[in-house]
Amino acid sequence: MAKPTILAVDDDRVVLAAVERDLRRQYGKEYRILGADSGAGALDALRQLQLRNHPVALFLADQRMPQMTGVEFLSQAIALFPTAKRVLLTAYADTEAAIRAINDIRLDHYLMKPWDPPEERLYPVLSDLLADWQAQFRPAFEGIRVIGHQWSAQGHAIKDFLARNQVPYQWLDIEADTTTGQLLAAAGAAPASLPVVIFPDGSHLVQPALAQVAEKVGLRTQARAPFYDLVIVGGGPAGLAAGVYGASEGLRTLIIEREAPGGQAAQSSRIENYLGFPVGLSGLDLARRAVAQATRFGTEILTPQEVTGVQLNGRYKLLTLADGSEVGCHALLVATGVQYRKLDAPGVEALTGAGIYYGAAMTEALSTKGQDAYIVGGGNSAGQAAMYLSGFARQVTILVRGYGLAESMSQYLIDQIGATSNIAVRARTGVVAAQGTANLEALTLTGVDTGATETVPAAALFIFIGAAPRTEWLSDLVERDKQGFILTGSDLLREGKRPRGWSLGRDPYWPESSVPGIFAAGDVRARSVKRIASAVGEGSMAVQFVHQYLAST
């Protein structure tokens, strides 16, 4: 934590140097001593400290300064640091102004110049005030601060990005937090241009793209080398497992992840069926451990970075990334999982990010406090989200088009939901419209059997309506099924014949696609089991076949 500051202000440089010297001698170990030779200069310095969220313990200002008196300075300084102690350096003639300041700006003390000897006339007063300040001091949050409107989609995207990349941040809602105005002024940012992200070094970004935030927090989006033995597209459980095995077995391995490592699993508030964690663990925790393990073995991870295309150059695979850069490899593992389908109803798209979210969006749970939240979908992911939200929202309602949860959800979750008083399940019900101006305010529901509609107040809607693979970027290079899942191994053989264009004298390996050296693992692979453990297993096993492929090329 940064040392708290004691700020001395005096236009007479000789006096200022003497004050600084005496302060440093007595308090330099515990406090940072800062001097300014004008009120305006001191206020500039304070604004920088405010941007960095560094604490200020005490102001010591000379009353007699030409452009701005000590009292005038203090009255502006305390607006920036309201808990700092206020001391005025005065001459005899200033006594009246100092006494007035006790009432006007709650001046803590006024000292007569000269203050020699400081042991008698300066330190006892200041030490007493500093002890008082320390007793009430609560260290401020020193990480990244994000200022925005509660219902801003861009603000939500930044929060979600930081949370999923496990970067601690503090969210400051412009409407609820009184300090945000000063912070924006100190940063020179207009309240109309939110969200603003302020970093611990005092720098800031206005309405930043995620790649800019990523760069500031030290995430890598550019590959170190032009070519790798193994490139893995997707940093979910399958991709991370492959990263651990690939690098630990000596392959130069790169993972490219579009959003944040962890994939769908990172959205899970509590994974209860993963081997070795009898009391469960959160998806973010699993992702954090997996990233640490993969990078420890030397896997490079690019995030946020998206793969948008792939071409073959002989046996080499050349990937195009969203920023236009390219990276090549011997073997490619596609582990891009699946993504939630969009809910097609009027109002939904416009309010996405402003009360309507795809997936669990755990960062938004707090905003449902005391309000009504709805969940669309009846799978395990919807059930977990309902359990998590029930700790915040007044009422959580799960909407399912089927006859209940039994056909799609694990029994342990159905039991937990049944035992939670503020979760209701509405079967045979769908969402046909969403209403709200700045944010979601109401939903129109319809009965699947009756067609009757009803409009209900709603603060949040979380959508979990089935998922589809996003494999368009592979165009027609590899064979996919009708839904877009990648066909591998024996699924590619038709009446014993190998896929068209297959050039090798062997069948495709179990996780290998219709192109030799391009593999698929996890949810994106056709007919895979859509679970974390199976994705981890497939990613790990795929590396064995990558070795066999590399040995034969």
Ligand X SMILES: Cc1cc2nc3c(=O)[nH]c(=O)nc-3n(C[C@H](O)[C@H](O)[C@H](O)COP(=O)(O)OP(=O)(O)OC[C@H]3O[C@@H](n4cnc5c(N)ncnc54)[C@H](O)[C@@H]3O)c2cc1C
Stretch touching ligand X by CB under 6 A, among 25-33, 44-52, 228-236, 400-408 = 228-236
Structure tokens of 303?
Answer: 């995030």
**444 near ligand X, judged by CB under 6 A:** no
**523 near ligand X, judged by CB under 6 A:** yes
Structure tokens of 274?
Answer: 């993963």
Distance CA 56, CA 80 (A): 10
Nearer to ligand X, 53 or 336 (CB): 336
**381 near ligand X, judged by CB under 6 A:** yes
CB 469 within 8 A of CB 509: no
Structure tokens of 17?
Answer: 């140097």
Give the phi and the psi of residue 59 in degrees, each rounded to 5.
-110, 135
**416 near ligand X, judged by CB under 6 A:** no
Nearer to ligand X, 82 or 324 (CB): 324
Rounded to a whole number of angstroms, the minimum distance from the CB of residue 320 to ligand X is 10
**530 near ligand X, judged by CB under 6 A:** yes
Nearest to 113 by CA among 18, 182, 207, 27: 18
Contact with ligand X (CB under 6 A): which of 35, 155, 263, 489? Answer: 263
Contact with ligand X (CB under 6 A): which of 10, 259, 364, 479? Answer: 259
Rounded to a whole number of angstroms, the minimum distance from the CB of residue 168 to ligand X is 21
**256 near ligand X, judged by CB under 6 A:** yes
Nearer to ligand X, 263 or 353 (CB): 263
Stretch touching ligand X by CB under 6 A, among 59-67, 121-129, 236-244, 370-378 = 236-244
Contacts of 189 (CB under 8 A, 6+ apart): 196, 204, 206
Tell me if residue 541 falls in helix, strand or coil.
helix
Q: Which residues inside 307-336 make contact with ligand X, applying CB under 6 A?
A: 307, 335-336
**Contacts by 293-298, CB closer than 8 A, 24 or more apart:** 293/240, 293/244, 294/240, 294/243, 294/244, 294/247, 294/255, 297/243, 297/244, 297/247, 297/248, 298/247, 298/253
**233 near ligand X, judged by CB under 6 A:** yes
Distance CA 77, CA 546 (A): 64
Contact with ligand X (CB under 6 A): which of 45, 97, 294, 532? Answer: 532
Rounded to a whole number of angstroms, the minimum distance from the CB of residue 255 to ligand X is 9
Nearer to ligand X, 58 or 535 (CB): 535
**268 near ligand X, judged by CB under 6 A:** yes
Q: What is the DSSP string of 72-110?
A: HHHHHHHHHSTTSEEEEEE-GGGHHHHHHHHHHS---EE
**531 near ligand X, judged by CB under 6 A:** yes
Distance CA 125, CA 22 (A): 13
**337 near ligand X, judged by CB under 6 A:** yes
Rounded to a whole number of angstroms, the minimum distance from the CB of residue 265 to ligand X is 4
**242 near ligand X, judged by CB under 6 A:** no
Contact with ligand X (CB under 6 A): which of 118, 236, 516, 537? Answer: 236
**234 near ligand X, judged by CB under 6 A:** yes
**β-bridge pairing 372-376 and 460-463:** parallel
Rounded to a whole number of angstroms, the minimum distance from the CB of residue 359 to ligand X is 6
Contact with ligand X (CB under 6 A): which of 118, 347, 522, 537? Answer: 522
Q: Is the dihedral of CA 255, 258, 262, 265 positive or negative?
A: negative
**Contacts by 284-289, CB closer than 8 A, 24 or more apart:** 284/163, 284/164, 284/166, 286/237, 286/262, 286/532, 287/164, 287/166, 287/240, 287/260, 287/261, 287/262, 287/263, 288/166
- Binding footprint of ligand X, residue count (CB under 6 A): 39
Contact with ligand X (CB under 6 A): which of 19, 329, 477, 535? Answer: 535
**352 near ligand X, judged by CB under 6 A:** no
Q: Is the dihedral of CA 239, 241, 243, 245 positive or negative?
A: negative
Contact positions vs ligand X (CB under 6 A): 233-239, 256-259, 263-265, 267-268, 271, 273, 306-307, 335-338, 359-360, 380-381, 384, 470, 473, 522-524, 530-533, 535
